[in-house]
Amino acid sequence: MLNELIEMFSNDFMVRALIGGTLVSLCASLLGVSLVLKRYSMIGDGLSHVGFGALAVASAVGSAAPLQIAIPIVVISAFFLLRLSENSKVKGDAAIALISTGALAIGITAASVSGLNTDINSYLFGSIIAMDKNDVIFCSVLSVIIIILYVFFYNKIFAVTFDESFAKATGTKAGIYNMIIAFLTALTIVVGMKMMGSMLISSLIIFPAVISMRVCSRFKTVIITSALVSVLCFIVGLVSSYSYSLPTGASIVIVNMIALILAVIIGHFTMKKNKHDRRKNN
Partner 1 sequence: MGELIKCENLAFSYEDVDVIKNLSFTVSEGDYLCIVGENGSGKSTLTKGLLGLKTPDSGSISLEQGLTKKEIGYLPQQTPAQKDFPASVFEVVLSGRLNSRGLRPFYSRADKMIAHDNIRKLGIEELMTRSYRDLSGGQQQRVLLARALCAGKKLLFLDEPVTGLDPIVTEEMYRLIEELNKKDNITIVMVSHDIVSAVRYATHVLHLNFEKSFFGTTEEYMKSPLGQYFFG
State the residues that interact with partner 1 by CB under 8 A.
37-39, 151-156, 158-159, 162-163, 165-172, 213, 216-220, 222, 274-275, 277-278, 281-282
The nearest distance, CB 149 to partner 1, in angstroms, is 10
The nearest distance, CB 236 to partner 1, in angstroms, is 24
The nearest distance, CB 97 to partner 1, in angstroms, is 20
- Please say which residue, 132 or 277, places its beta carbon nearer to partner 1: 277
CA distance 46 to 254: 21
- Please say which residue, 34 or 59, places its beta carbon nearer to partner 1: 34
- Please say which residue, 174 or 204, places its beta carbon nearer to partner 1: 174
- Please say which residue, 125 or 219, places its beta carbon nearer to partner 1: 219
236 by DSSP, 3-state: which?
helix
Nearest C-alpha neighbor of 231 from the set 251, 213, 268, 256: 256
The nearest distance, CB 88 to partner 1, in angstroms, is 12
What stretches of 153-247 show up as alpha helix (H) in DSSP? 154-162, 164-169, 174-196, 201-215, 219-243
Contact residues for 53 (Cβ-Cβ < 8 A; gap 6+) = 102, 103, 104, 105, 106, 107, 110
How much is the CA Rg of the chain, to the nearest whole Å? 19
CA distance 225 to 228: 5
CA distance 281 to 100: 47
Contact residues for 12 (Cβ-Cβ < 8 A; gap 6+) = none
The nearest distance, CB 278 to partner 1, in angstroms, is 5
- Please say which residue, 194 or 214, places its beta carbon nearer to partner 1: 214
